[in-house]
Amino acid sequence: MATFKILCPLAYMALLWVLSSIPAMPDRTMAGIYIPTLLQKSMHVVAYAVLAATWLWAIGPGRVTRTAAIWAVCLASAYAGIDEYHQTFVPGRSGCLRDVGLDTFAAALGVTIVAAMRTGQSPVPPQSTSAGSQ
């Protein structure tokens, strides 16, 4: 089961690699389909939130831990950097550090959503308030 769990995010990363290998044309179309910038960025958010959630499922002990959440975000973020670099070799595409930042934000968002869905827990513990503040 552990091998299967690790293969899932790796297979998803392979899918993202294939999709990011589709050349873009000067008229902002990919495979003949026009994709507006807002939709492109939205696709980044969904893709990397799902990737981080998949890594969290694969490496987590069945519940969300801070360590698993950090690893999931770091793995998704590292892959975002690799994929953006890969896109510099694809005709009509370019790698963008801003997209890596967006993808990292999306990964953190995905982990936070999963944590919230699992019995309302958060990977970040609530901050304690001092006794003197009201």
- Residue 32 confidence (pLDDT) above 80: no
Q: Is residue 128 part of a domain?
A: no
Note the pLDDT tens digit of each residue in 94-108: 899 999 999 999 999
**DSSP annotation string for 80-96:** HHHHHHHHTTSTT----
Q: Is residue 29 part of a domain?
A: yes
Model pLDDT, residue 2: 76
Question: Are 61 and 122 in contact, with CB atoms under 8 Å apart?
Answer: no
CB atoms within 10 A of CB 45: 16
Beta bridge partners, 34, equal 29
Q: What type of residue sits at position 21? A: S
Q: Is residue 131 part of a domain?
A: no
Q: Is residue 122 part of a domain?
A: no
**Residue 95's domain spans which residues?**
2-117
Structural domains counted in the chain: 1
Q: Is residue 86 part of a domain?
A: yes
Q: Is residue 129 part of a domain?
A: no
pTM reported for the whole predicted model = 0.82
Model pLDDT, residue 117: 86
pLDDT, mean of residues 15-19:
95
Nearest CA among 14, 19, 113, 5 for reference residue 64: 113
Q: Is residue 13 part of a domain?
A: yes
